[in-house]
Structure 1
């Protein structure tokens, strides 16, 4: 069968931004993020430095591991009161045994009892599947499909999974593997009896420390000599702390960092034993360990105390050093000093390079201290400053990830703070790391009527188009909330931009009626205001919906109507020309398609968008190819290939250009060049999880066989150096 002309109508958000996208968004892989073979995940936080005791509990876990079921995964729930050390035990034991799990260790804090919303299972599944090497675009959208994919992937593998801080059995159940070889360790304040009934989970109840364990912890933190000098005071300290591990660590941390005897500490703590009772139910956590927290907090110097209580305003228990500086009102250097002092006092836990976490009880306690110890004005100002820092940084990162594309123009206040993003790679990494914190910050801003901040944060969520489909509903939620904020804040420009973006998200999800409703509202408002460019953008969006549904005649009409309306805006006109070129090839209007592609290239040149230039050249190549002008097609395709090779996040574009070049090489008799182009394209598509990779490789092998019999030809620029 003769090779036929082809066109690829996929174009990602990095090309078209707010105006329109030319096809379905699947994924963007930044260079350095894909590997031939994914590394074995080892996601555990650092091993606790002062783990003591728990001999019976460790033995129980060891026994479960030794007698793991031969028919199903082993599931164990470590349940206990807040502050009892469930996470410490789970992480310490997991470090101890993870060598028995050669296929990886997965860890997640499910936020079951944090101040933030619990993590949805879909988000956790997406993260786990990516960590195990599943390409983003292969991860399905539905929870059941994601759960099934995880079970299928883990079949026959040995993986240790630590699910920390679970809210209920429903949050855990979709994450469970289904076959032998895996071990799941769950921690929760509740016993999660539902898992025992339906999933044969075993339970380990974590009680308070024994007096001996409590004394050993104090000895390990403050030193044996001091303990031996004041044995009675140690016993009183254990009693004051109710043998609760978290309380003991906080109190011992204070002793380790201050010139203070144990007796002085106990005397200063007072007799508040009744207030330090062990909690009998999770909702009562506000009264837990209050005496120890009060004592430790009130003896902090002024600046660390301010830092601590303002960390209670942070929307998430985990935070970066830059975020701490923003909420605390310090520069980054001073913030580092203050946070490290809180680490020494066991009030803050380091979790990575310049990243920290507050225990959920301490996070709630810090928030209450901010409410009581800050004046109403300073409390509101600190919260606004911190949330505004997130908004400014998110906008800066968004502009770097989408260079040259329209951004929201919302003002969230000037600042001299240091942004942790300097280039596109850093911006992408920051948005990826902070995506759930950004969502929490947006909700916090919205609930406090800080609408301009909520709008800015909603605008940064378009980066989720680069993430698996499972996360696209989060983008939809954010843009819907941002729209409400824009309307409440009387910001019509942002409202129109977010209407277009939400329509784009609806299209990504295949919700055509919802997308049309947003775009038609956009069109009506643009027509009423007399804004020709905005009306043209709405027509582009409607045309894109028709194009994605393969209603090409209707799509052609929409883009033709948009063309005179967007003239004068180079990017908008380039997008219209791009779509008319691609649709024209599909309709057999190939000469018109070529003219539109040439106009697209003319508009892209000089705009600093090399990916856009490459895309226009590729559109020209496809049009030449459809006209049977294969030598011109090769010339344009190879120019596009050269541009895509030097651009971040252009792997899929590169693969498509290589395929186009290969087809014209083959049709002009250059089978060796065609084979090399197709082999490279197949390798790229395989990394992206594209199912066409295998078929493309077979075609390449056929090219190579034909080329070998013909005696070969000169090397091609398609072949990478």
Structure 2
């Protein structure tokens, strides 16, 4: 039997369609299908059929229509009656709307890797539609379902045309998209797809006209500018850039590809490359250590090999410069692991804090994957050891000036000693740059090679200098180099190899025009590892165009290297030399003035970036210094975010080397970016530095700010919660003494969050209440919105559902009024959860669906996980265990990536409950066990109580009543200690269990 609702309501039996005649019978069947496999109370059915009109015969009339509907069904036992109402039994796949949802889900899964397959599946899904569902039925229960189906239809169309465009079918879909846009003129994604189709068909002017048309409509009808997706498409089209299918795509985890660019002009080293091939190309071997002196070409060799061998490692390549010997602080292994974990798809807040835990998570993520791991410029075995994967499929190559004997002894690493270039290969390297001049003056070339100690770094710089002076003979140049230093054979002496190449650096540096020489020196002053032209211009106090010309001169001289994304960095020997020159040439006042300009540039540009990344919080940030120099244009969210990502490490290093004022202002400006990006390490670092700086300066408000953010960061990672509370309490005391009511409210809100996550809901609710009172009706709406949502969560946990619903609806209204789509999704899922608890499943499904769409649009992955989890629970209630498992699996995957402890525990418990319902108790208990481990480790007592309750339910269903009672008692103890209403339910279950036993 099939039930067809995607058009006129019909029943199909034995391949024959049977229309359901009579409006009342269609309504009756529709309501029963909307709640298939669930008991529908009689009053719900009579209300749907006849409204609120009182009729003493309503029950009899309903029974008559039930009887006639059974005749239409042809299987009377399909529609049963019990003490609580009627239930229609529907098997999986019998409703065309369910098949439609399944096909749309399959199409979405195929879209990333097989867009042609996605097109086929999605067109099959759309072919199920025969018209408008439940036409001419004005029934609220059916209205909800109809609206949800109509929304899913549009989502399916959008997915279809996105896949079509990915297949290159631009012109072919313009007509269909034009019709859809005409039917749904305010649907921005459809407009975006039409713009892409036009643009890719060579119709740029029409694509831009389509943008202007939708913009005018949105402004006139809604008073709103187009969203980020449409604005970014217009920008790309105006700039003549490629455009993404469907605009801004959802982030996807891809195989990392972190290798630096291949080395241009690489020569020789064939024996070493062959040895690396033999040792590493197949994976499954011990690490290889490429050891040799500074400037000998270790990185160039390994990068060249890695590019040649990358096809053997289809799961990606990880690369990190450990900065073991540069003027910077060597990179800590926990920081390198954080970068690897992010590259492997783990979001910042999910990254453990302990270096051992990070290493374990890294080994887990790479297990079974064929990855290449390049650990460049390592200083010690201790720096390398935590970064070694446990998988036999991974190849690891390490470069270091040290032999890393401990790695050889303990991990069985192979050591490849890299000596200076053989004379023939050194001659070939010179010939790559100087051509026939090497053959014309062979003796002079040999002298130059020896003067450069056959080091590739020195040879490249010397060759470039010679190339820039074509009128001079090589013998003359080699003699000049000899005057700088009698011999470079000092390289063979145990000591600093930097002295051996100083002559070559000096020889090249002295040829620079003063402007270029000054910029070279200033690169040694910059506190970061790499930089861009804007920052260099700020250091130099020069214009961007002139700075880029100078950087080009330095790049041609091999005194600086260009990297991807228009950035620049120096070999660590060159950077140390530049810093030494700056210290000896430029006065301390001049160096500090350059750094002051850099700090002003950074603060000004960070503020501009935050204005587009977190515009609703601009009023809370310190005033940025005036900056009249060149700066990047950061008018779009993505631009600001990309700039912050690129400069994050430099900004943190600048706070390390700056005075209190900069450190405090930088922390107060950038903290929200670090918070939402999950860069918890960096957030704790910058707030700790800000706290110390504020204490040095006697800046009480700065101290309170840093303590507030530190408290939140420590609470989020579940580490040292008592310290988190102490930070917040001390911040609150400072704001109270200062009479800062608004800031007091902020801290109270944050304290409430900490108490709530510990399960102390009454205490949390009290903090939120005080925050709302202090904020008042004229305080920032963002704080009111946050406190309202948080209060709602507490009231829900305390069983005060209607109060909770009232609070979160007020928050939703604030979000809608202020265009805050990110937090609108958060409010929607809060409403959905309350609807679920109170038995309003249709409303729960509607709000969760809207919340999911907004969460995906805005990238709010935590809310995306919550929405999927709730939709999975609804599917489980409906008896659709397959859909429930899919939703819960996806929710758990996202929760683990995001790393919020409560989200992970809730997702594990819901997935466990679904497996239990689907008849998989062993799998259910394993998931509950994992949830218990996470909750116990983070000190989340409420989540731990829920987990014990879940385990008890599974054990009881298995007949293991003694074990079940033990878990119910532990849950009861926790609920009672926290003062939560769930304690009553635990007592009831324990009482019933005891009665059964007796």
**Structure-2-length-normalised TM-score:** 0.61
SS at match of 1:371: helix
Match of 1:545 in 2: 754
The CA deviation string for residues 484-529 of structure 1, in whole angstroms up to 9 with x for no partner, is: 2234345444333222111111111322111111111112112212
The CA deviation string for residues 139-184 of structure 1, in whole angstroms up to 9 with x for no partner, is: 4433223323333444444332221100100111111133433322
CA distance in 2, matches of 1:126, 1:409: 29
Q: 2:639 aligns with which of 426, 435, 447?
A: 426
Q: 2:402 aligns with which of 187, 190, 201?
A: 190
In structure 2, relative to structure 1, the CA distance for the partners of 1:686 and 1:252 (3 Å cut) is same
In structure 2, relative to structure 1, the CA distance for the partners of 1:613 and 1:193 (3 Å cut) is same
In structure 2, relative to structure 1, the CA distance for the partners of 1:596 and 1:367 (3 Å cut) is same
Match of 2:186 in 1: none
CA distance in 2, matches of 1:157, 1:371: 48
Match of 2:691 in 1: 483
In structure 2, relative to structure 1, the CA distance for the partners of 1:675 and 1:212 (3 Å cut) is closer
Q: Does the Cα contact within 8 Å between 2:527 and 2:653 map onto a contact in 1?
A: yes
SS at match of 1:158: coil
Alignment of 1:116-515 (within 5 A): 116-134=328-346, 139-223=351-435, 225-261=436-472, 262-274=474-486, 276-279=488-491, 284-405=496-617, 407-419=620-632, 421-445=634-658, 449=659, 451-453=661-663, 455-457=665-667, 459-467=669-677, 471-489=679-697, 491-510=699-718, 511-515=720-724
CA distance in 2, matches of 1:665, 1:160: 42
Q: Does the Cα contact within 8 Å between 1:81 and 1:282 map onto a contact in 2?
A: no
1:596 aligns with 2:811: no
CA distance in 2, matches of 1:206, 1:278: 18
How much has 1:284 moved relative to structure 2? 2.2
Cα RMSD (Å) of the superposition? 3.3
In structure 2, relative to structure 1, the CA distance for the partners of 1:684 and 1:472 (3 Å cut) is same
SS at match of 2:320: strand
Q: Does the Cα contact within 8 Å between 1:309 and 1:367 map onto a contact in 2?
A: yes
Q: Does the Cα contact within 8 Å between 1:630 and 1:665 map onto a contact in 2?
A: no
How much has 1:353 moved relative to structure 2? 2.7
Alignment of 1:634-645 (within 5 A): 636-637=847-848, 640-641=851-852, 643-645=854-856
How much has 1:201 moved relative to structure 2? 1.2
Deviates more, 1:246-255 or 1:679-688: 679-688
In structure 2, relative to structure 1, the CA distance for the partners of 1:279 and 1:270 (3 Å cut) is closer
In structure 2, relative to structure 1, the CA distance for the partners of 1:652 and 1:300 (3 Å cut) is same
Match of 1:529 in 2: 738
CA distance in 1, matches of 2:368, 2:830: 46
Match of 1:686 in 2: 893
In structure 2, relative to structure 1, the CA distance for the partners of 1:500 and 1:222 (3 Å cut) is same
1:607 aligns with 2:818: yes
In structure 2, relative to structure 1, the CA distance for the partners of 1:659 and 1:129 (3 Å cut) is closer
How much has 1:346 moved relative to structure 2? 0.9
CA distance in 2, matches of 1:168, 1:452: 33
SS at match of 2:826: helix
SS at match of 2:287: strand
In structure 2, relative to structure 1, the CA distance for the partners of 1:654 and 1:46 (3 Å cut) is closer
CA distance in 2, matches of 1:495, 1:555: 24
In structure 2, relative to structure 1, the CA distance for the partners of 1:664 and 1:78 (3 Å cut) is closer
Q: Does the Cα contact within 8 Å between 2:426 and 2:456 map onto a contact in 1?
A: yes
How much has 1:658 moved relative to structure 2? 5.5
SS at match of 2:327: coil
Alignment of 1:551-700 (within 5 A): 551-567=760-776, 568-569=778-779, 570-630=781-841, 633=844, 636-637=847-848, 640-641=851-852, 643-645=854-856, 647-657=857-867, 660=870, 683=890, 686-687=893-894, 689=896, 692=907
Q: Does the Cα contact within 8 Å between 2:701 and 2:734 map onto a contact in 1?
A: no
Deviates more, 1:137-146 or 1:113-122: 137-146
CA distance in 2, matches of 1:450, 1:280: 45
Give 1 or 2 for the bigger CA radius of gyration.
Answer: 2
**Structure 1, unaligned runs of 5 or more:** 4-29, 704-721
In structure 2, relative to structure 1, the CA distance for the partners of 1:239 and 1:557 (3 Å cut) is same
Match of 1:42 in 2: 257
How much has 1:552 moved relative to structure 2? 0.6
How much has 1:354 moved relative to structure 2? 0.5
CA distance in 1, matches of 2:668, 2:461: 38
CA distance in 2, matches of 1:679, 1:40: 24
In structure 2, relative to structure 1, the CA distance for the partners of 1:98 and 1:688 (3 Å cut) is same
How much has 1:427 moved relative to structure 2? 2.4
How much has 1:409 moved relative to structure 2? 0.6
Q: Does the Cα contact within 8 Å between 2:310 and 2:372 map onto a contact in 1?
A: yes
CA distance in 2, matches of 1:328, 1:158: 45
In structure 2, relative to structure 1, the CA distance for the partners of 1:394 and 1:2 (3 Å cut) is farther
How much has 1:109 moved relative to structure 2? 0.7
CA distance in 2, matches of 1:414, 1:591: 52
CA distance in 1, matches of 2:345, 2:587: 49
In structure 2, relative to structure 1, the CA distance for the partners of 1:606 and 1:677 (3 Å cut) is farther
CA distance in 1, matches of 2:360, 2:581: 45
Q: Does the Cα contact within 8 Å between 1:503 and 1:516 map onto a contact in 2?
A: yes
Q: Which has the higher contact order (CA 8 A, sep 6+)?
A: 1
